[in-house]
Structure 1
Amino acid sequence: MKKLLLSAGILASLMATSPVSAQSLLDYVGQCVPFARAASGIQIYGDAWTWWEKAEGHYQRGDVPRVGAVVVFARTQRLPLGHVAVISRVVDDRVVMVTHANWSRVGGERGHAEQDVTLTDTSPDNDWSSVRVWYRDMGGLGSTTYPVSGFIYGTPATRSAPRARPARELTSRDPDYVGALLDVYR
């Protein structure tokens, strides 16, 4: 599998928020919040479910997935702290790929980063208010539907707010999804 190399700035940001000794964003092991902050460049702190409200007035928000945006999962009984993930590809109007940490078990443990994980819109109005997520342990989409607050974009809500700088590795890759998959196995 290809590795995404971190720029010095992204690595420094990730290391400042959690103990990381990785040379690659995908080597990260830890919580979803520091990973999403480093991968997206969106500088929000606190539990994942709080990101939606904390973004108000700082970053633009919406209900349309875009590469580099952070999708915010609402707090539920199964996700008491919520979850955040970075959109790494838009496949079509109901399917995107996310890169995130601390979802599936990898090697029997949680916390690992996963690249290009399928996220499917299950909302009846196609507004991304509920989703299902690929779960590695099942080898398919999980059976749970999760409520989503929306997407936080790296674009400042005001002129004085700084623009988020997403990890170049997540946003500058070949947009040809099938070609990118083939490259992994070459």
Structure 2
Amino acid sequence: MTKRITAAVVAATLGFFALGAAPAKADDPYWQCVTFARMFSGINIFGDAWTWWSQAVNRLRTGDAPETGSVLVFRPEGRMSRGHVAVVSDILTDRVIRVTHANWGGSRGKVEENVTVVDVSGEGDWSRVKVWYNPINDLGSTVYPTYGFIYKNARDAFNAPRESTATGQP
């Protein structure tokens, strides 16, 4: 319970430093979350956001702990029928991260940088999160279910022996 309160306080404090979204221009690109996440993270997965998890499970490392550059995959639910993906840009605490993502809430088609996301799951496994929502300058009231994080490293590469940089030997 203390970790949840600490995470909420950290998130609220960070909100005071959040910048509002810039007004849209007619020639600005319209970003989808999957296109942006693929380009920004380098994780080469295609298709709707909710399909990323099943595509990654046998190909890439997946897990329930954030790493900078990993992709947080949101489950489809309610109005978010195709899920959502967001790239972890910073880890603030074990239950508070920042993500950079596109096409979220009040920023349709736009990229939002360093948005606060708080783990509100009972187990601390990032299976349920709240996301900072600029229009209200606070964490949104919705709790979003997630699959977890996809890491850029291929599953086999992660388990392979690593070479020593000094000798070139494993």
Query: When the two structures are superposed, what TM-score results if normalisation uses the length of structure 1?
Result: 0.68
8 Å Cα contact 1:31-1:102 kept in structure 2: yes
Alignment-derived partner of residue 47 in structure 1: 48
For residues 74 and 111 of structure 2, what CA distance do their matches in structure 1 show?
Answer: 17
For residues 71 and 124 of structure 1, what CA distance do their matches in structure 2 show?
Answer: 18
For residues 104 and 76 of structure 1, what CA distance do their matches in structure 2 show?
Answer: 14
For residues 75 and 143 of structure 2, what CA distance do their matches in structure 1 show?
Answer: 11
* Cα drift, residue 58 of structure 1: 1.3
Unmatched tracts of structure 1, length 5 or more: 2-21, 160-186
Identity rate, percent: 50
Alignment-derived partner of residue 144 in structure 1: 142
Letter of the 2:139 partner, please give it: L
Alignment-derived partner of residue 62 in structure 2: 61
8 Å Cα contact 1:28-1:35 kept in structure 2: no
Unmatched tracts of structure 2, length 5 or more: 1-18, 20-26, 158-170
Alignment-derived partner of residue 11 in structure 2: none
CA RMSD, 1 decimal: 1.5
Residues 75-97 of structure 1, C-alpha deviation per residue, up to 9 Å, x if partnerless?
11121000000000000001000
SS at match of 1:158: helix
Alignment-derived partner of residue 112 in structure 2: 114
Alignment-derived partner of residue 156 in structure 1: 154
Letter of the 1:111 partner, please give it: G
For residues 47 and 135 of structure 2, what CA distance do their matches in structure 1 show?
Answer: 28
* Cα drift, residue 28 of structure 1: 5.2
For residues 28 and 61 of structure 1, what CA distance do their matches in structure 2 show?
Answer: 30
More strand by share: 2
2:131 is the counterpart of 1:133 = yes
Alignment-derived partner of residue 4 in structure 1: none
For residues 45 and 68 of structure 2, what CA distance do their matches in structure 1 show?
Answer: 18
Residues 42-67 of structure 1, C-alpha deviation per residue, up to 9 Å, x if partnerless?
00001001100000221100000000
For residues 81 and 95 of structure 1, what CA distance do their matches in structure 2 show?
Answer: 24
Letter of the 2:60 partner, please give it: Y
Alignment-derived partner of residue 14 in structure 2: none
Residues 8-64 of structure 1, C-alpha deviation per residue, up to 9 Å, x if partnerless?
xxxxxxxxxxxxxx9xxxx75321000000000000001001100000221100000
Query: When the two structures are superposed, what TM-score results if normalisation uses the length of structure 2?
Result: 0.74
* Cα drift, residue 111 of structure 1: 1.1
SS at match of 2:99: strand
For residues 29 and 63 of structure 2, what CA distance do their matches in structure 1 show?
Answer: 28
Matches within 5 A, 1:162-173: none
8 Å Cα contact 1:57-1:158 kept in structure 2: no
Alignment-derived partner of residue 83 in structure 1: 84
